Amino acid sequence: MPTDHPPRPLSGRAPRLQTPPGVVDTHIHIFTEGHAGQPGGPPPPEPATVANYRRFQQWLGLAKAVVVQSNAYQFDNACLLEALAAFGGDARGIAVVTPETDDATLERLTAAGVRGARIMNLPTGAVGLDRMEAVAARIRPFGWHVIVQLDGRELPGHEAALKRLEGPYVIDHVGKFLEPVAPDHESFRCLLRLVGRGNCYVKLSAPYETSKSGAPLFEDVGRLAKALVAAAPERMLWASNWPHVGVPRARYPDDVDLLDVLLDWAPDEATRRAILVDNPSGLYDF
């Protein structure tokens, strides 16, 4: 299969949301045929290349991206580094490293555009929450932060550790409550407490992964997103989660819906600009 063949939609109807210049998509993955899946991870999906993503950017009106190391590649950051080189200054990276990763490797990753380490506390994740604090301490001198993905219902059990993190960190996908919860649920109240401390960012992304009410507004996830926007608009981020890894073709989300939902979650234009441009540009050193 040619590596520039689009295995998923890369164009279509125009979004209703007119994006401002400089939009940062804070969570995408890149897969190419030249990089094999690694033991412990799921098999890589069909290729999702930088060239494919460039077409996707043009469709939705996006400018910059944060490439997140896929579980498929585990500790092998080679595909990530290749993607960052292809993007040039238009992308930053989130790598997978351990507390034992040496300074030379961290310096090389930083020079390539990496600004964070992935903590994935779900099946096939390479580094879990049990190593989060040690990884955070290791990367802090390089100006990185951790991004954390977990079942949000488990947040209260990790609240103390997250509070100990120095500097910024990011919680993925509106907390990713694998069974959607109400805004007054203790696990979501925990997320609001973390956000209220001033260093916790949250990605308003991937509602299709957990929503029971579904597109286009994903109301059950949306009520949580709206509460987060109300609590700390200056630390909310947006992401496409392209190319929607692990979603069967029959349930592939409408990418326009995933952008336009911000019109409901953040009706104020200035707030949307902060979420789409200002907040991620500062966090990711654009």
Active-site residue set: 241
CB 98 within 8 A of CB 127: yes
Dump the DSSP string for 139-176: HGGGT-EEEEE--GGGHHHHHHHHHT--S-EEE-GGG-
* DSSP for residue 278: I
By the 8 A CB rule, do 272 and 266 touch?
yes
User: Angle at the Cα of 238 (from 140 to 126), degrees rounded to 5?
Assistant: 50
Residue whose structure tokens are 């059990």: 157
Please answer whether residues 99 and 126 qualify as being in contact, where contact means their C-beta atoms are separated by less than 8 angstroms. Answer: no
Does 243 sit behind a cis peptide bond, omega within 30 degrees of 0 on the bond before it? yes
Q: Distance (Å, rounded) from C-alpha 241 to C-alpha 248?
A: 15
Spatial CA neighbour of 15 closest among 276, 264, 259 = 259
